[in-house]
A = this chain, B = another copy of it.
Amino acid sequence: MEYKEAKQKFIDAWGILGSSWGINKTMAQIHALLLISPEALTTEEIMDELNISRGNASMNVRALIDWGIVYKELKAGERKDYFTSEKDIWELAKHVLIERRKRELEPLFRVLGQIDDVVGENKAQVKELTSKVKEIETFASKTDKLLNRISSADSNWFFNKLIKMIK
């Protein structure tokens, strides 16, 4: 298969996968492009490769930087910004998990924590709601611990154990 075709397939696949996980298509595609680029790219190059506007490129590159999976690279004597992606897939997955925990698990805990001392006529309803809140809190807290392990210093130890378990 020709490089150009393969590249397009890869970028599109990443875009579709991203979409179904609530990540906008362009953001995922920029990431795919940087992931397979041996060299760091400028905003212009990203715009050209993906046929997107400057504003779109700028905003999504910034979003990727906020997610911690794309870095700005400085080139001596160069005025333009260069961007490059985290290349290690495990490291990448780790970053995404950590970021999602921060963005979603924390707000979830906050809301569930607010649902307290529920009172109402229908005891069965109150009981069902209360117990689900508790169960989800327990579940989320375990997920949180798991993510902490994944992001911690001994994450390699953890991954190795995990991989042994699925052998």
Contact surface of A with B, Cβ cutoff 8 Å: 1-4, 6-7, 9-10, 12-13, 16-17, 19-22, 35-38, 87, 89-90, 93, 103-104, 107-108, 111-112, 114-122, 124-129, 132-133, 135-136, 138-139, 142, 145-146, 148-149, 158, 161-163, 165-166
Contact = CB atoms under 8 A, between A and B. Distances in A.
A39 to B, nearest CB: 8
**Copies, count:** 2
Given A20-B104, A146-B166, 5 more contacts: A1-B119, A4-B120, A13-B108, A36-B129, A87-B132
Nearest to A130: B6
25 contacts: A1-B114, A1-B116, A2-B119, A3-B129, A6-B118, A7-B125, A9-B114, A9-B115, A10-B111, A10-B132, A13-B108, A19-B22, A20-B22, A20-B103, A22-B22, A35-B132, A36-B125, A36-B132, A37-B128, A38-B124, A38-B128, A89-B132, A90-B139, A142-B166, A158-B165
Contacts of A111: 9-10, 12-13
B3 A119 contact: yes
Given A1-B117, A163-B142, A136 B89 contact: yes
Contact of A128 (B36, B117, B145): B36
B119 A17 contact: no
A9 to B, nearest CB: 6
A104 B17 contact: yes
